[in-house]
Amino acid sequence: MKFGVALPYLSAREIAELAALAEEHAWDGAFVGDAIWTVDPIVSLTAAAMRTQRIRLGVMVVPVPLRKPWKIASESAALDNLSGGRLTLALATGAVWMGWQGFPDEVTDTKQRAEMLDETIDILTG
């Protein structure tokens, strides 16, 4: 069994420090959230990758409808390469909630969100 720690919403520098501390204390993974009021999770995890050697790194859930598939693929591949293959990627349709409402690209239709998830998975695995 493996154990990961969910890190709080902090700066990229603080995320990197906490990930290094988690690694020092034998945690198997360090994971960050993805919300509009936080530092971009890929930026935070990139900082963490530079401070760690072994621990797995990941976003708890990437809400695919709020991102472009090619951007998820490009950033994920770069981070996985930089970290030496330590990225754990969790993708989901995400929830439609007030924090994202009003954004021009917000897709609220459940079926369309699921199709976007399928498209992103195809791009990532393709």
CA dihedral 23, 32, 57, 108 (to 10 degrees): 170
Closest CA to 22 of 45, 1, 38, 40: 45
> Higher-confidence residue: 33 or 66?
33
pLDDT, tens digit (0-9, with 9 covering 90-100), for 57-111: 999 999 898 888 999 999 999 999 999 999 999 999 987 765 556 666 778 788 9
Is the Cβ–Cβ distance between 9 and 37 less than 8 Å? yes
pLDDT band at 122 (very low <50, low <70, confident <90, very high): very high
pLDDT tens-digit map of 12-30: 999 999 999 999 999 999 9
pLDDT at residue 77, rounded to an integer = 95
pLDDT of residue 102: 64
Domains and CATH numbers, the chain: 4-125 (3.20.20.30)
pLDDT of residue 95: 78
**Per-residue pLDDT at 126 exceeds 90:** no
Q: Give the pLDDT score at 65.
A: 85
CA dist., res. 30 & res. 12, Å (int): 13
* CB burial string 8-47: b at 16+ within 10 A, e below: eeeebeebbbbbbebbeeebebbbbebeeebbebbbbbbb
pLDDT tens for each residue of 41-66 = 999 999 999 999 999 999 999 989 88
Length of the chain: 126
